[in-house]
Structure 1
Amino acid sequence: MPSGFGTKLVIAISSRALFNLDESHKIYESEGLDAYARYQIEHEDEILEPGDAFPLVQKLLSLNKHLGGEPRVEVILLSRNSADTGLRVFNSIQHYGLNITRAAFSGGTSPYGYATAFGCHLFLSTNAEDVRHALDHGIAAATLLTSKNKTENAEQIRFAFDGDAVLFSDEAERIYKLEGLSAFTEKEKASAKEPLSGGPFKEFLAALQGLQREFGEYDCPIRTALVTARSAPAHERVIRTLRAWNIRIDESLFLGGLSKGTFLKAYGADVFFDDQRVHCDSASEHVATGHVPHGIANQLLDLPAKLE
C-alpha cells in the first residue's frame, strides 16, 4: 500500500461500471476507436447516466461522513479511455458530487496494473479480461453484471460473499468438482479444525472489518454476510476458519444448494460476489452481482477452449 493512503480502504472502479456508457461502447464496437473518440468529445458536456456500480460507490464514499478526520475510503477511476475522451467521465463525476479525484486513463490498454500501483483492495469492472488480470496479480476483483433490481437500503452498505474460491481458496471446491459431494463432505468433516487458505477476497474482507471496528457495534453502517451453498456438516470448517483469521461476519447463510437470489434480496445486499457464473446470473435477478473468475469452476469452463 502506498504510504500516501495510510490505512484507507481503496476501491478501483472502471468508467463503464460507474456510468452507463452502452451507447458510446456500441459506437466503438461498430465503428472503431476514432469514431468513439469523436463521439465522446462531441458529447463531453452531456452528463452520463449512473451505471451498475454507481449506488455502491455513493455508499462507499458516504462512509467518510460517519468518521471524523481524514477520509477513510478512497475510490479511484481506472479507465481504458484517454484523458481526452475521459473528460466526459470526469464532468459526470463532478456533476453528481462524487469525491473521486484520482484516475488512470490507459488509452485503450488494460488499466489493471494501476490497481496494484494504487494499492487497491478491490477492483470492479465490466471487462472480464481486466478482472482476470487483476486477480492474477493478487487483487480482489469482480466483473459487474447488469442487475434488474436496485437495493433500497439507505441505512447501511451491505456486502455479501460466497465462500469457496472467493473468501476461501478453492481447495475444498476442487474436491467437490473432481470427486463429488460425498468425497467433499468426508474431507470437510475430517478437516473441520484445519483452517482453509485465504481466497482472493480475504484481504478485502479484512479491510472492511478494520473499518467496522471504528464504529460502534450497534450503529455500524457496514454489514457483511457469507452466503454459501455449504450446509452441515461442512459448515464447521468455515466457522473455524473465520475464527482463526480473527474476522467476524455479521450474517452467515448455509443454504445447502438452494438458489441464493431470494436470500440475497431478503438480506438487502448492495453487492454479492460469487465465483460461479450460474449463481451470479441467478443473484443478479435480485441484487447487484460481481462474478469472480477464479478457481476450479472457472478453470473447468475454460478447459474445452484450451483443448481445441
Structure 2
Amino acid sequence: MTKLSSRKLIVAISSRALFNLDESHQVYEKEGIEAYRSHQRSKEHEILPPGGAFDLVKKFLKLNEGRKPEDALVEVLLLSRNTADTGLRIFNSIRHYGLNIIRAAFAGGNSPYVYANAFGADLYLSLNPEDVRQALNTSCAAATIWPGSKTCQVEDALHIAFDGDAVIFSDEAERVFKTKGLEEFNKSEILSANEPLADGPFKGFLMALQRLQKEQDLPIPIRTALVTARSAPAHERVVNTLRQWDIRIDESLFLGGLSKAEFLKAFKADIFFDDQKMHCETASCEVTSAHVPYGVANEGAK
C-alpha cells in the first residue's frame, strides 16, 4: 500500500478554506441539509470562487513544479464535511483551477479533522474553529483562516510568518505575562534565558518548512519570519531556544508591543499565524492571517 512520504510537507485544507462556499453555507444554515444538497447539485458545474487559503495552496503546489509525482515536495489534501456526492462541485472547481489535489476525505456531515492525522498532515487549515481546536488536541498544527481581503503578496516567493509564544513555543512565558504582568515576565525570561522554551503546536510545521528550504532548485524560495511582541531583554531566550532546536528563521522582528500589521505587510507574508484574535484581526487588513486557538489566551474561549 502506498504511504505518503515522510519527506513531503503535507497540508490538509478544508473545502471552505480553499473555496468561497459562503452562499452554500448560508443555504445549509438557514434551510438545512436537504436544501443544501439540492443547491450543490443544481450548481455542480458552476465554478466556486477562491477562498481565503486558495493563493497559499497554489504556492505550496508550485514547489512541485519540474518534479515527477513521486518526487513531489508538497502534498495538499482536501478535508470536507460534505459527502462525495455534494462535494463533486468542489472537485470540479479543483480541476478547473488546475490544482493538483488528488486525495480527499468527505466526512458526510462529521468533522473531518480526524483524517488530518491519518494522512500525517503537518498543517491543517479550516474555517471551522471547533475542527481546528480538535485537530490541535491531536498534536496537529492547525489554524482558523481569518477573513481578509488581501492574500498573495508576491508571486515569486512563499513567505510565512509566525508569532512566537503559544505558536512556535509553548505558552509558558505568555502565562507569566498574563498572570503577573510585563515586569515579572521580563524578570522570568532573563532568569530563564538559557533554558529552552517547550515546544509549541507549530514547531513541527516550522521544521518541515526548514527541511524544504534545504532542497535544491526550488521553483520559488521559502522565507520564514518570527513576528513577536517580545522585546529586549526577553529576546535572548527565544534565540537560545531556536539554537537548541537547530532551527533557523530567516527574519526575526521583536516589536515590543507595536502593531504587527505594517511589519507583516513589509515582510510580504502570505500567511501569519498568531494565538490571539486581536492580532489576527489587525493583521488581516494587510495579509492573510490564521488564528491558532492554543494556550492561555484562548482558555475558556468558544
Please state which band the TM-score falls in when normalised by the shorter chain.
over 0.9
**Residue in 2 aligned with 1:160?**
161
**Equivalent residues of 1:228, 1:253 under 8 A apart:** yes
Shift of 1:7: 1.2
The 3 A distance-change label for structure 1 pair 107 and 301 is: closer
Note the alpha carbon deviations across 1:210-266, whole angstroms, 9 max, x for none.
00011379x961100000000000000001101110010000000000000010001
Alpha-carbon distance in structure 1 between the residues aligned to 2:161 and 2:216: 19
Shift of 1:151: 3.2
**Residue in 1 aligned with 2:237?**
237
- Secondary structure in structure 1 of the residue aligned to 2:256: coil
Shift of 1:70: 1.1
Alpha-carbon distance in structure 1 between the residues aligned to 2:198 and 2:112: 28
**Residue in 2 aligned with 1:284?**
284
Alpha-carbon distance in structure 2 between the residues aligned to 1:72 and 1:93: 20
- Secondary structure in structure 2 of the residue aligned to 1:4: coil
Is the aligned partner of 1:112 residue 2:113? Answer: yes
The amino acid of 1:111's aligned partner reads P
**Residue in 1 aligned with 2:71?**
70
Alpha-carbon distance in structure 1 between the residues aligned to 2:187 and 2:252: 22
**Equivalent residues of 2:62, 2:220 under 8 A apart:** no
- Secondary structure in structure 2 of the residue aligned to 1:148: coil
**Residue in 1 aligned with 2:152?**
151
Alpha-carbon distance in structure 2 between the residues aligned to 1:224 and 1:138: 22
**Residue in 2 aligned with 1:306?**
none
**Equivalent residues of 1:230, 1:255 under 8 A apart:** yes
Alpha-carbon distance in structure 2 between the residues aligned to 1:67 and 1:263: 34
**Residue in 2 aligned with 1:127?**
128
**Equivalent residues of 2:272, 2:289 under 8 A apart:** yes
**Residue in 2 aligned with 1:5?**
5
- Please give the residue correspondences for 1:3-42 in structure 2 after superposition, counting only pairs within 5 Å: 3-42=3-42
Note the alpha carbon deviations across 1:43-80, whole angstroms, 9 max, x for none.
00110001010000000000011656611100000000
- Secondary structure in structure 2 of the residue aligned to 1:82: coil
**Residue in 1 aligned with 2:101?**
100
- Secondary structure in structure 2 of the residue aligned to 1:244: helix
- Secondary structure in structure 2 of the residue aligned to 1:123: strand
Q: What is the root-mean-square deviation of aligned Cα atoms in Å?
A: 1.5
The amino acid of 1:82's aligned partner reads T
Alpha-carbon distance in structure 2 between the residues aligned to 1:136 and 1:276: 18
Is the aligned partner of 1:177 residue 2:178? Answer: yes
Alpha-carbon distance in structure 2 between the residues aligned to 1:102 and 1:220: 24
Structure 1 runs (4+) deviating above 6 angstroms are none
The amino acid of 1:98's aligned partner reads L
Note the alpha carbon deviations across 1:179-199, whole angstroms, 9 max, x for none.
111110000000001110110
Q: What TM-score do the two structures reach when normalised by structure 2?
A: 0.96
Alpha-carbon distance in structure 2 between the residues aligned to 1:150 and 1:119: 26
Alpha-carbon distance in structure 1 between the residues aligned to 2:74 and 2:201: 20
The 3 A distance-change label for structure 1 pair 243 and 220 is: farther
Identity of paired residues, percent? 61
**Residue in 2 aligned with 1:208?**
209
**Equivalent residues of 1:212, 1:220 under 8 A apart:** no
**Residue in 1 aligned with 2:262?**
262
293-302 vs 176-185, greater mean Cα deviation: 293-302
**Residue in 2 aligned with 1:194?**
195
- Please give the residue correspondences for 1:82-101 in structure 2 after superposition, counting only pairs within 5 Å: 82-101=83-102
**Equivalent residues of 2:227, 2:254 under 8 A apart:** yes
The amino acid of 2:86's aligned partner reads T
Alpha-carbon distance in structure 1 between the residues aligned to 2:66 and 2:286: 28
Note the alpha carbon deviations across 1:10-52, whole angstroms, 9 max, x for none.
0000000000100010000100011001100110011000101
Note the alpha carbon deviations across 1:109-162, whole angstroms, 9 max, x for none.
100000010000000000000000000000000000111223330111100000
**Equivalent residues of 2:148, 2:288 under 8 A apart:** yes
Note the alpha carbon deviations across 1:258-289, whole angstroms, 9 max, x for none.
00001000100000000000101010111000
Alpha-carbon distance in structure 1 between the residues aligned to 2:134 and 2:110: 12
**Residue in 2 aligned with 1:305?**
none
